[in-house]
Amino acid sequence: TKENERRKTMIRNDHKDRLFRKLFGDPANKESLLSLYNALNDRNYTDPNELQITTIEDVIYMGIKNDISCIIDDYMCLIEHQSSYDPNMPLRGFFYFGKLYDKYMSLSKLRFSTKTKIKIPTPQYFVLYNGEDRKIPDRIEMKLSDSFEHPDDSGNFEWTATLININYGMNEKIMKACRLLEEYSICIAE
């Protein structure tokens, strides 16, 4: 029945998400997250201790938890895993980053001031897609402004999510740079 198919899809998608978070979000294994970060950003950081995991464990937005976030070298990177294409990811990321920056400000004991500009980590937002829609390209830049009621191409206010297709056979350069991501992709394909 349709209900059974829906349940199977929910279970399969939840299983993928939990496995992804276990592989890359475990604070005891920062090496895997550092490898993923390097692959997504074409960087070559070597010391996992430079990476600070900032994932907000108890944030729930519409029943969806924040997957993985970290700070390294004054970049705040949010990585979300998706088993279905969601055009609302820029909006979700906007809310998640609000929470992440709020946490950053309170932990850093930073206060708003009218005399000194507060410097914050530069945001990076990746959505890793491994759903069944084979028409999704290797990479999509998703913009918050596409959701505005009134089109606005001024660039005065923008928030971007970079969707990366991690299905097996896609994004070979990223997969070669992060062997664990490639293995995850192969596992999910099976």
Q: Each residue of 112-146: pLDDT tens digit?
A: 776 778 889 999 999 999 999 989 999 999 999 99
Is the backbone of residue 169 left (phi > 0), alpha (psi -120 to 50) or beta?
left
Average pLDDT over residues 60-74: 75
Higher pLDDT, residue 182 or 109? 182
pLDDT at 39: 98
Higher pLDDT, residue 177 or 18? 177
Of 86, 106, 107, nearest to 17 by C-alpha is: 86
What does pTM read for this prediction? 0.86
Higher pLDDT, residue 135 or 7? 135
pLDDT band at 175 (very low <50, low <70, confident <90, very high): very high
Average pLDDT over residues 61-82: 84
The answer on pLDDT for 10 being more than 60 is no
* Contact assessment for residue 83 and residue 17, using Cβ atoms and an 8 Å cutoff: yes
The answer on pLDDT for 41 being more than 70 is yes
The answer on pLDDT for 40 being more than 60 is yes
The answer on pLDDT for 14 being more than 70 is no
